[in-house]
Amino acid sequence: MTETAPRTPVTLDRGRIAELTAREAARLNERTQGSRRLYERARQTLIDFYVRFGTYEPYVRYGYGTWSSHVLSWLNAARSWKVPMHVVRFEALRDDGAATLSELATFLGMNVDDAAIAAALENCSLATSREMEERAIADCEESRFYKRGFEAAYARGWRYHGGGGSGYARARLSPAQWEAAHHVFGPTAAAIGLPIKP
């Protein structure tokens, strides 16, 4: 039987702990930066695909078609059925929801008071939707907010709603992507008064 020498306890002073912590933080930052670069490349690839083809590949597989084909199908249906159409843009709802809903009510021939519009906006607010989403996730309630198989993503903090804003991609598109977007979406966007510009 061989004897082993007794181990000397390792003592670290605060300076050594700070050095090790800084080294580990640098390693973590390096790994995080690599993940961010990978994420950014994947995001740019997805954007490239969308602005070149007008949709995401899974949407075509599910039969949704492109954004333009979706919008044009409604515009063409209104023309062929000779019915009036009122276009409501997400940006308008976000910028001035009360005025946008009031215009919609007028278009529909409805007499709606300000209190009803305020209640509708509150019931559909980002905060209310986020509460519904959190309940659906907590209760594992199958809905647009909760899908089985995404539990790990929910645990990491992924949510359906994101920031709830519009236009966040404008600063992220390259000039070539803007040109492609204008080419693919421009005529349809113009038909509904939606500017496509950086």
**Residue located via tokens 């308008």:** 92
122-127 average pLDDT score: 90
61-66 average pLDDT score: 76
Rounded Cα distance between 148 and 110, Å, is: 40
Rounded Cα distance between 192 and 195, Å, is: 9
Whether 14 shows a pLDDT value over 70: the answer reads no
What percentage of the chain reaches a pLDDT higher than 70?
A: 78
| Stretch among 56-60, 102-106, 124-128, 132-136 having the lowest mean pLDDT | 56-60
Whether 10 shows a pLDDT value over 80: the answer reads no
pLDDT of residue 182: 85
188-192 average pLDDT score: 89
6-10 average pLDDT score: 53
The 10 Å CB-count burial string (b at 16+, else e) for 48-61 is: eebbeebbeeebee
pLDDT of residue 41: 74
Question: Please, are residues 184 and 53 in contact by the beta-carbon 8 Å criterion?
Answer: yes
180-198 average pLDDT score: 85
Which among 188, 179, 50 has a CA at the least distance from the CA of 197? 179
pLDDT of residue 34: 67
Q: Give the range with max mean pLDDT: 14-18, 21-25, 117-121, 182-186.
A: 117-121
Whether 27 shows a pLDDT value over 90: the answer reads no
pLDDT tens figures, 132-179: 999 999 999 988 888 888 888 889 888 887 777 766 667 778 888 888
Question: End-to-end alpha-carbon separation of the chain, Å?
Answer: 77
The DSSP line for 96-119 is: HHHHHHHHHHHHTT----HHHHHH
pLDDT of residue 118: 95
**Maximum Cα–Cα distance across the chain:** 98
